[in-house]
Amino acid sequence: MNRILALDPGTEKSGWATVCRKTGRIHDSGTELNLEALARIARHRGPVAIEQMQEQGRGVLGKTTVWAMLWSGRFWEVADRQGNIVIWIPRSTAKSQAGAHPSDDDAGLARALRRNHGDCGERDCGAGCQSKACPLRRTDTHRRAAMAVGIAAHRKLKP
């Protein structure tokens, strides 16, 4: 398959995005329950990119972080069982490859995605984009993170 499936694992729901392996264009994205994400991974034929957890300097793992890590492992297991290439992308790498600073919050990532990867025909589609063709329209935190992971995976796999 010519598309990369990118995932941002969460405790109950995860973000996903499909990115063209050749061009890096974001095709589609969404947020769904983790069990639905497992089924999506099982159907996918091609590279799977999963956001890699990174230490935030606090030295303490919270319950939500542990659950997200468990889901990351399950996602890897299903993708690997299907024979897909699995790529782990650190969040800071995903942000920088999408055009944001690694320390940017979600709003900074959203601005960088709109500025650099809006696909509605405008170079800078802006926060209020209403184009139905724009993959960045009405996105949430998990979807945006998955898009950034997909962009970084595209750049890592680029021949």
So what's the pLDDT on residue 106?
A: 86
Q: pLDDT tens, 113-128?
A: 878 776 544 444 444 4
Question: Is the pLDDT reported for residue 12 higher than 80?
Answer: yes
Looking at domain 3-157, its CATH superfamily turns out to be Ribonuclease H-like superfamily/Ribonuclease H (3.30.420.10)
Query: How far is it, in rounded angstroms, from Cα 115 to Cα 106?
Result: 14
Q: What value, to the nearest 5°, has the Cα angle with vertex 126 and ends 98 and 52?
A: 25
Write down the mean pLDDT value for the chain: 85
Choose between 5 and 133: higher pLDDT.
Answer: 5
Q: pLDDT tens, 18-76?
A: 999 988 888 888 999 999 999 999 999 999 999 998 766 666 567 788 889 999 999 99
157: left (phi over 0), alpha (psi -120 to 50) or beta: alpha
